[in-house]
Structure formats: structure tokens, C-alpha cells
Amino acid sequence: MKLYRERNPDAEEPTVRWLPFQLNPDIPAGGITRKDYVERKFGPGGKNKYERVAAVGKGEGIDFAFDKIEFQPNTVDVHRLIHHATLNGREDEINEALFKGFFVEGKNLSDQNTLVDIAVSVGLDRAVVAAYLAGDAGRDIIREADLEARNAGVQGVPFFIFNRKVGVSGAHEAESLLQAMQQALQDEPDEPA
């Protein structure tokens, strides 16, 4: 966003929306151990796959602590919480708090009490969030949005969609994402007469 603002000082500020997508929808509701997840995904010694990500993160001021992560969550409730926070004007805050909680602090995002604590940390009401997560509200919305993303070809994260026109899969340098944003802002070609 910083690069976009620098290059387009007179442009309207882009709106960022976080859309549900379960990277691992087959993980049971209570989650699984991170060790089992990593071995299932990458094989024995798979934890080394995260060394490059940790190094890149460090260069961006993010202290990934993959060794602190003990549980790999099923993310339906995480996405439900994001949905609830979005309806309450806390979309960016909840996403940042969840990322920090999981990737830096190693919090178990399968645990509803942990999710409630994270919600409270961004200004949401404890009792309201606890009741929301204890029920089924938002569950169908998350499943439908996840299915829509899969049907649109999303297979992994991160995945960026700019102006509903240009999709970019994977982590990219800021310049590459800016080019995609600018491409999405261009007028569509005229229809032939």
C-alpha cells in the first residue's frame, strides 16, 4: 500500500478485504499437532521448509517463530471470527492480531478461548464473541465463500484479487503487486461494434 500511495498520491485509497479460504479444510475441528501437520505436508524434516520464510520475514521486521507453533488449526472458527470482526469495523485489526498470535506467539487458534482473547485485544466484546463462536452463526457464509474461492481457482495463500479482475497467487515483491493493481485499474477494452 505504501508503494501504491507513493506512485498514486491523488488516487483513492484502495480498500483491502480479507476473504475466507481454508488452506487445509481436512483438518479436524480441534486441529492437529503442528508436527503431524508438517510431516504430513512435507515429510520428515519438513520443518526446514519454513527457514526461508522466517528469513524473509526477519527482513521485513516480522519475527516468525514457527518453533512455537504446537497446533495446526482448522480455520473455520478463525474465519468466523474475522467475519464477525469485519461486521464490527475491526477487519484489519483482527487479521493482524491473528497472524501475530499464530506465527509469532504460537497461539492455538483451534481454542475458542484463545480466539475470544484475541478478539478482546482488538476491542471486541468478550461475551458477544464467546456467544458467537459457541454457536453456528457465520459458518455457512464461510463455507460458501471458501467454495467460491476454490471454484475461482484459488489453491493457496496468499492470493490477491485486484478490482475483481487480476489475480496473483503467492508471495511477491511490492513492485510486482503494484503492477497487478495498476493493471486492474485500467479500463476494460471497448467491445467491438
List the domain range (segments joined by +) for residue 168. Answer: 1-21+154-186
Question: Which triple of cell numbers denotes residue 79?
Answer: 474465519
Residues of the chain whose pLDDT is less than 70? 187-193
192 within domain boundaries: no
136 within domain boundaries: yes
Q: In total, how many domains does the chain have?
A: 2
Cα separation, 159 vs 36, whole angstroms: 25
pLDDT of residue 9: 87
Rounded to the nearest 10°, the torsion over CA 87, 129, 82, 61 is 120
pLDDT of residue 187: 59
CB 38 within 8 A of CB 44: no
